[in-house]
Homo-oligomer: A and B are copies of this chain.
């Protein structure tokens, strides 16, 4: 099997949306150092996302797919993971009837495109089948075969971290083999139990795998499998790959996926998912110096200090010209003001972020660092008014921008100055990582 990798220009330029709506880690453990290649797929691919679950295993009232992470429901992250892939054409989210209005609202609020909500059936297989039929234009309006997708990818709403390169592997294998699915090694030994609750035997772990999502099928295979399967399959079955084998004779190609494909199942998984999202958003920040020499010195020192805290800083004098790109790709901004208690620079930054619709998908953090050089205090604009930054922060919070302040004094005592810089770095890093709405508007001391 050969996978073509072609570098293409993205033709995906909706002016209302950020250029990079969000990147998620290819592997949990490390950063990805390279820009992903654009992958070329020359056949139509669409997606069915069953999202009808009731969330009983998390012990929460809200089904997992509708639980909020930094103010956005999980399903929206999953949808976004597919809609940013240029070669995916349509996404059908299958939800319980009582959640149709909620899903429609989510699609509008987060400006999702390519996405449609469809009402589900009483079981997982019935819901997926509804989604497949919706893609084929079956039902009320029959659509010509040419409009049907060649490949249908089925994924879970509660596996938000799927990456384009893995979707590509599944789509290509599905087209070639008729069916393909993600697998992972087993974490625990699997054992068979007797009816009385005793050990019967244990399986040899190496021979078995956990079947995960995404899975891919040619449209014809998945549709035929559902047309031919029994009521009992619809009622009790869990494995689409099994239906393809039993009713179409298609042996699915199995591809090992990354650990990030795991399914948000228990309450602890919500914390794990939030942590992955926060990690992704806190890898870098943009420091705006305004060009002042003292600010540049501070920014350079900060750059070294936060490097040790596993964050990268880009230092720019402003966000004009060639630096304007940072406005569209960064999630964190540090505005340094020297001897100016006025918040005008921060106000301008907030206006720019708002105009770029930057905080649509994730909260953006803005940290105002006020550096005062004591011997110049008399010419400065006076002391900072805590009330002013609190007021500005309250207004920004409504627009999903989290504003915090840090004050520090320049010191000629090197040791003292280094301690202050380290403190700014630690506070900055903690604020960016936590993204706590409760602490906005605070003026912290470094």
Interface residues of A in 260-310 (CB under 8 A from B): 260, 262-263, 265-269, 271-276
Whether the Cβ atoms of B189 and A239 lie closer than 8 Å is yes
Beyond the given pairs A262-B268, A268-B276, A426-B437, 18 more chain A to chain B contacts, judged by CB atoms under 8 angstroms and listed by A's residue number, are A29-B60, A29-B267, A183-B191, A189-B211, A189-B242, A190-B209, A190-B210, A193-B207, A198-B251, A201-B245, A202-B241, A259-B268, A271-B274, A272-B272, A386-B445, A427-B438, A427-B439, A430-B439
CA distance A254 to B188 in the complex (A): 15
Q: Which residue of B lies closest to A267 (CB)?
A: B28
Taking a contact as CB atoms closer than 8 A, the residue among B59, B201, B210, B262 that contacts A27 in the complex is B59
Q: How many copies does the complex hold?
A: 2
CA distance A59 to B29 in the complex (A): 5
Interface residues of A in 140-156 (CB under 8 A from B): none
Q: Which residue of B lies closest to A439 (CB)?
A: B430
The answer to the question of A340 belonging to the interface, with a C-beta cut-off of 8 Å to chain B, is no
The answer to the question of A408 belonging to the interface, with a C-beta cut-off of 8 Å to chain B, is no
Question: What is A's interface to B at a CB cutoff of 8 Å?
Answer: 27-30, 57-60, 177, 179, 181, 183-184, 186-194, 197-199, 201-203, 205, 207-212, 238-239, 241-242, 245, 251-255, 259-260, 262-263, 265-269, 271-276, 386, 390, 426-427, 429-430, 434, 436-439, 441-445
Known contacts A59-B27, A434-B436: does B268 contact A198 (CB below 8 Å)?
A: no
Whether the Cβ atoms of A190 and B190 lie closer than 8 Å is yes
Q: Which residues of B contact A209 (CB under 8 A)?
A: 190-191, 193
CA distance A27 to B251 in the complex (A): 40
Report the minimal beta-carbon distance from A372 to chain B, rounded to whole angstroms: 14
Whether the Cβ atoms of A266 and B28 lie closer than 8 Å is yes
CA distance A252 to B271 in the complex (A): 34
Q: Which residue of B lies closest to A271 (CB)?
A: B275
Q: Which residue of B lies closest to A27 (CB)?
A: B59
Report the minimal beta-carbon distance from A113 to chain B, rounded to whole angstroms: 29
Known contacts A186-B190, A263-B187, A444-B439: does B199 contact A268 (CB below 8 Å)?
A: no
Known contacts A187-B263, A439-B430: does B271 contact A198 (CB below 8 Å)?
A: no
Report the minimal beta-carbon distance from A130 to chain B, rounded to whole angstroms: 21
Whether the Cβ atoms of A212 and B191 lie closer than 8 Å is no
Q: Which residues of B contact A188 (CB under 8 A)?
A: 184, 210-212, 263
Across the A-B interface, the 5 shortest Cβ-Cβ residue pairs? A29-B59, A271-B275, A430-B438, A268-B272, A188-B210
Q: Which residues of B contact A436 (CB under 8 A)?
A: 430, 434
Whether the Cβ atoms of B211 and A190 lie closer than 8 Å is yes
Whether the Cβ atoms of A197 and B253 lie closer than 8 Å is yes
CA distance A398 to B255 in the complex (A): 50
27 A–B contacts, CB within 8 A, in A order: A28-B268, A29-B59, A29-B60, A177-B198, A183-B191, A187-B210, A188-B212, A188-B263, A189-B211, A189-B238, A190-B210, A192-B207, A193-B209, A197-B253, A197-B254, A198-B252, A201-B242, A203-B208, A205-B238, A260-B268, A271-B271, A271-B275, A272-B275, A426-B437, A439-B439, A439-B444, A442-B445
Report the minimal beta-carbon distance from A110 to chain B, rounded to whole angstroms: 24
Whether the Cβ atoms of A183 and B193 lie closer than 8 Å is yes
Known contacts A28-B59, A29-B59, A238-B205: does B194 contact A251 (CB below 8 Å)?
A: yes
Q: Which residue of B lies closest to A266 (CB)?
A: B259
Report the minimal beta-carbon distance from A437 to chain B, rounded to whole angstroms: 8
Q: Which residue of B lies closest to A252 (CB)?
A: B199
Q: Which residues of B contact A253 (CB under 8 A)?
A: 197-198
Q: Which residue of B lies closest to A60 (CB)?
A: B29
